[in-house]
C-alpha cells in the first residue's frame, strides 16, 4: 500500500482546490483513509513525545470549527488539517521515510515542466482566442502579459513557495549523495532537476519566495556556524537573483504589478485582518470564514490563523514552529548530513514565506511542510538517541 500512497503524494501538487473543491476534498479523504489503514495494518502506530503537541494543535482547530460563524463551512475545512496531520505521522512513523524524497523531487520536476509549458506556449494561444472571439478581458491580458510562471497553482507566489521547498530538499539530497561519493548516472538527472527548479523559481518572479530562501539560507549558515567563502557565495548569488527580479518587476508597465503596490496592498490586508481579530480575539471567525475587502486571504498566514482559529490556534501554531526550529538546531549541531540541512532550509522557507503569503492554507503546497516537519522531528530524534 505504501507505493500507492507515494503515488498519491506525487500527484498532490497537481490537484488544486480552486479548480475543483469536491475533487480536492475526495483526494484528501482517500489519502487519509489509505494512510490510516497502512499505519494500522503495518503496526507502525506508537506513542511519541510529540503526540500531545499535535493533539493540542488539532484540538484548537476542532474548537475553532465548532465555534464558527459558519459551522458548515468550517467543518468542510477540517479535512485539510486532518490530512496534514496524517501526512506528518506517515513520515514520522515510517522507518523508510527517505523513500519519499525522490518522488517529491521528481514530482517537483514535472510541475516545473508543466509550468514552463504554460509560461511559453499557453499565453499566446489564450490571447489569440480572446482576439478571435472579440472578447475584451483586461485582467486576463494584464495577468498573462506579466510572463510569470504559476501553473498549476493559482498564483506565482504559491508556485514559488512550493518550488523553493522542493529545490531546498533536492539540493540537500544531491549534495549528500556527492558527499558520500555516490556519483551514479542518476545524479546527472537530479542535477538537471535542480537547474530546472531554479529556473522556474526565477520565472515566478516572486520576491517573497526569494527573500524567504535568502533568510532561510542565512539562518542555516548561522545555526551551522558555517560562515565561509562557499556559504557567502550562495547568499550573494541568491541576493543577485533577488535584485534582478526586483529590477524586472519595476520595469513592468502596469502599476498593479509593482512591488511597492503589492506591499501597500499587504499592509492594508493586515490592517483589515487586525480588525477581524479585535472583533473575535479568542475564538476567531472559524475555519475558512476569513474574509476582508478584496480578498479571502490576509497574505500573512500567522495573522490569519489567529483570525480564523483564535488565540489558542495561533499559539498552537507558534509552538509547532518553535519545536521545528528547536529540533532542527539540535539536529544541525549533531548531524553531518546535507539532506537534513536541505530539509531545514525548506521548512524555514515555508515559515518565512507565510509571513507574506498564505500557502499554509493551501494543501497543494503545505503538504510539503508537514512532510518536512515529520522528517525533521524523526531525524533529530534519531540523532539525539544515538
Q: What is the pLDDT along the chain (386 residues), one digit of tens a residue?
A: 899 999 999 999 999 988 888 899 999 999 999 999 999 999 999 999 999 999 999 999 999 888 887 888 888 889 999 999 999 999 999 999 999 999 999 999 999 999 999 999 887 776 666 666 676 556 566 666 678 999 999 999 999 999 999 999 999 999 998 888 777 788 899 999 999 999 999 999 999 999 999 999 999 999 987 788 888 999 999 999 999 999 988 887 665 566 777 888 889 999 999 999 999 999 999 999 999 887 889 999 999 999 999 999 999 999 999 999 999 999 998 888 999 999 999 999 999 999 999 999 999 999 999 999 999 999 886 644 43
State residue 254's pLDDT score.
64
Residues paired with 292 in a beta bridge: 295
DSSP string, 9-22: HHHGGG--TTT-HH
Q: Please list, in sequence order, all residues whose beta carbon lies within 8 angstroms of the beta carbon of residue 148, skipping any fewer than 6 positions away.
A: 119, 156, 203, 204, 205, 206
How many domains in the chain? 1
- Distance separating alpha carbons of residues 26 and 79, to the nearest angstrom: 10
Contact yes or no for 56/316 (Cβ under 8 A): yes
- Distance separating alpha carbons of residues 8 and 22, to the nearest angstrom: 16
Neighbouring C-alpha atoms within 13 Å toward the C-beta of 221? 16
The one-character DSSP state at 17 is T
Give the distance, in angstroms, between the CA of residue 286 and the centroid of all CA atoms in the same chain. Answer: 22
Q: If DSSP codes are grouped into helix, strand and coil, which group holds residue 295?
A: strand
Range of the domain at 117: 2-385
- Distance separating alpha carbons of residues 284 and 170, to the nearest angstrom: 38
Residues paired with 295 in a beta bridge: 292
Reported in sequence order, the residue ranges of the chain that DSSP labels E, i.e. its strands, are none
Q: If DSSP codes are grouped into helix, strand and coil, which group holds residue 206?
A: coil
Contact yes or no for 174/193 (Cβ under 8 A): no
State residue 82's pLDDT score.
95
Amino acid at each position: 500500500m505504501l507505493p500507492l500512497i507515494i503515488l498519491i503524494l506525487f500527484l498532490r501538487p497537481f490537484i488544486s482546490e480552486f479548480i475543483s473543491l469536491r475533487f480536492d476534498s475526495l483526494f484528501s479523504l482517500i489519502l487519509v483513509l489509505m494512510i490510516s489503514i497502512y499505519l494500522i495494518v503495518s503496526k507502525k502506530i506508537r506513542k511519541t513525545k510529540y503526540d500531545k503537541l499535535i493533539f493540542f494543535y488539532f484540538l484548537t482547530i476542532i474548537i475553532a470549527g465548532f465555534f464558527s460563524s459558519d459551522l458548515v463551512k468550517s467543518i468542510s475545512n477540517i479535512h485539510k488539517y486532518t490530512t496534514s496531520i496524517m501526512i506528518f505521522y506517515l513520515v514520522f512513523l515510517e522507518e523508510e521515510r527517505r523513500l519519499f524524497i525522490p518522488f517529491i523531487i521528481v514530482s517537483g520536476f514535472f510541475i516545473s515542466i508543466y509550468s514552463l509549458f504554460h509560461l511559453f506556449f499557453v499565453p499566446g494561444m489564450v490571447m489569440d482566442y480572446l482576439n478571435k472571439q472579440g472578447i475584451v478581458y483586461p485582467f486576463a491580458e494584464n495577468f498573462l502579459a506579466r510572463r510569470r510562471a504559476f501553473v498549476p497553482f493559482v498564483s506565482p507566489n504559491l508556485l514559488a513557495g512550493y518550488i523553493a521547498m522542493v529545490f531546498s530538499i533536492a539540493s540537500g539530497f544531491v549534495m549528500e549523495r556527492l558527499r558520500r561519493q555516490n556519483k551514479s548516472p542518476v545524479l546527472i538527472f537530479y542535477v538537471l532537476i535542480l537547474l530546472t527548479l531554479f529556473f522556474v523559481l526565477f520565472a515566478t518572479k516572486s520576491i517573497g519566495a526569494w527573500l524567504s530562501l535568502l533568510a532561510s539560507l542565512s539562518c542555516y549558515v548561522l545555526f551551522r556556524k558555517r560562515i565561509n567563502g562557499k556559504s557567502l557565495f550562495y547568499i550573494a548569488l541568491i541576493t543577485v537573483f533577488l535584485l534582478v527580479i526586483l529590477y524586472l518587476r519595476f520595469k513592468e508597465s502596469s502599476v498593479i504589478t509593482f512591488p511597492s503596490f503589492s506591499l501597500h496592498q499587504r499592509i492594508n490586508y493586515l490592517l483589515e485582518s487586525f480588525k477581524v481579530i479585535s472583533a473575535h480575539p479568542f475564538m476567531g471567525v472559524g475555519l475558512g470564514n476569513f474574509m476582508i475587502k478584496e480578498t479571502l486571504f490576509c497574505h500573512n498566514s500567522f495573522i490569519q490563523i489567529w483570525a480564523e482559529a483564535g488565540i489558542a490556534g495561533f499559539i498552537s501554531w507558534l509552538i509547532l514552529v518553535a519545536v521545528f526550529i528547536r529540533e532542527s538546531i539540535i539536529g544541525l549541531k549533531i548531524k553531518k548530513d546535507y539532506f537534513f540541512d536541505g530539509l531545514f532550509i525548506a521548512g524555514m522557507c515555508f515559515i518565512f514565506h507565510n509571513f507574506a503569503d498564505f500557502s499554509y492554507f493551501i494543501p497543494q503546497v503545505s503538504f510539503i511542510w508537514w512532510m518536512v516537519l515529520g522528517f525533521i522531528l524523526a531525524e533529530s530524534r534519531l540523532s539525539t538517541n544515538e
